Each structure stands twice: as structure tokens, then as C-alpha cells.
Amino acid sequence: MSSNGEIRCDGFPGEQPTKEEILRFCQDSRGKVRTRTDYLLYPPTGRPLARIRFGSSATMESARAQQFAYERGARTPKIYHAFENSRGRAYILDEYIEGVPATDWIKDNKGQLSRLAAEVSKELEKMIHFEVPPDATPGAVGGGVCMHGFFDDVTGAWRLYDSIEHLEKDINKACH
């Protein structure tokens, strides 16, 4: 990760688009994205090499968490480039993995849901055993806020914690 908070990784399967090209591509595609999570396939024609996530579903926290998991062997797309624009909106260029979206697979394979649950469970079990860096604090990988509705009544859903003790104090406050 670079010092300005960007994530850059080698291995793009072709000529990687620049930050300016990613921003322009997303801007030019405004209104053409029809999914709940904003993403585009790159390049726009031919065989996709990557996905560009942007909009409300894209955050630097999610990019750091995704790369953290990828580097430890989780089956998740590799991040090639993640950055924020001048207004603080994140753009994430990550690996395109060909396949059927889980929501479509579930519709077509209702009798095999236990198979999907077993695969998801196996990946979650792997993630539970990731070693936590010694300097980590509660919150997003690499630093950041805890986001959870559990804290709405006590501290607001977005909270920065500097220690486990600080987190425990708010959890105890919420439970009483």
C-alpha cells in the first residue's frame, strides 16, 4: 500500500488503466450501471479482465479488508488498484472472476443450498484463523472506524476505537 492510502498491486493481466482512465470510464458510464452495487467490467468491450467498483459499496476499508484476506489465501478477488478521488469516493479495480453471481446460482440450485453453505463456511473458518497484526486496533483493516448498527443508540454507528478496552466500554454501555 502506498503512503497516500492507495493500494497498488502488480499482476494485472494486460495494460492496467490509470487512475484518470478509471475515473473517466466510471463518469462516462454514469446512468448505465443497473445493479445495486455499482461496478463496471473492464475493458468495456471484449473479454473482461477486471471489475471497477465505485459508489456506496466501494470504500477503502473494504478494499484493505479484501486485500488482507486475499494475501492470506481467501478466495476473493485480488485488488490491483484502489484509491479515492478528490471528494473522498473510492474506486477499486480488482480481479474479474468469471462465474455466476451467487444470487443467480441460488435461484437455479435451490436443492443444493447446503453445498453453498458448506463452501462459505469453509472460507469463513479460514478467515477466523487469520493472524491479527500486533498493532491492530478494533475497526477496519489498516485502521478506520467500526461500523455496526449495534452502537446506534450509544455512540452512533461509526466509531473509531483505539483499544479493545475502549470497545468493551461501549459494548457494556449498550448492554445495560
Own/partner contacts of 95-101, CB < 8 Å, gap of 24 or more, are 95/50, 95/51, 96/41, 96/42, 96/48, 96/49, 96/50, 96/51, 98/48
pLDDT band at 2 (very low <50, low <70, confident <90, very high): very low
Query: For residues 16 and 43, what is the distance between their CA atoms, to the nearest angstrom?
Result: 10
Task: Look up the pTM and report it.
Answer: 0.79
Query: For residues 95 and 89, what is the distance between their CA atoms, to the nearest angstrom?
Result: 20
107-157 pLDDT tens trace:
999 888 898 899 889 999 998 999 888 888 877 787 777 766 666 655 555
CATH of 7-95, one of 3.40.50, 3.30.200, 1.10.3210, 2.60.40: 3.30.200
Query: For residues 175 and 154, what is the distance between their CA atoms, to the nearest angstrom?
Result: 10
Q: Which residue has the cell 451467487?
A: 102
| SS3 label, residue 111 | helix
| Mean pLDDT on 82-103 | 92
Which residue did the predictor score with more confidence, 10 or 160? 10
Residue in 113, 120, 58 with CA at minimum distance from that of residue 88 = 58
pLDDT score of 56: 79
pLDDT score of 3: 44
| Mean pLDDT on 62-87 | 93
Q: Where in the chain do CATH 3.30.200 domains reside?
A: 7-95
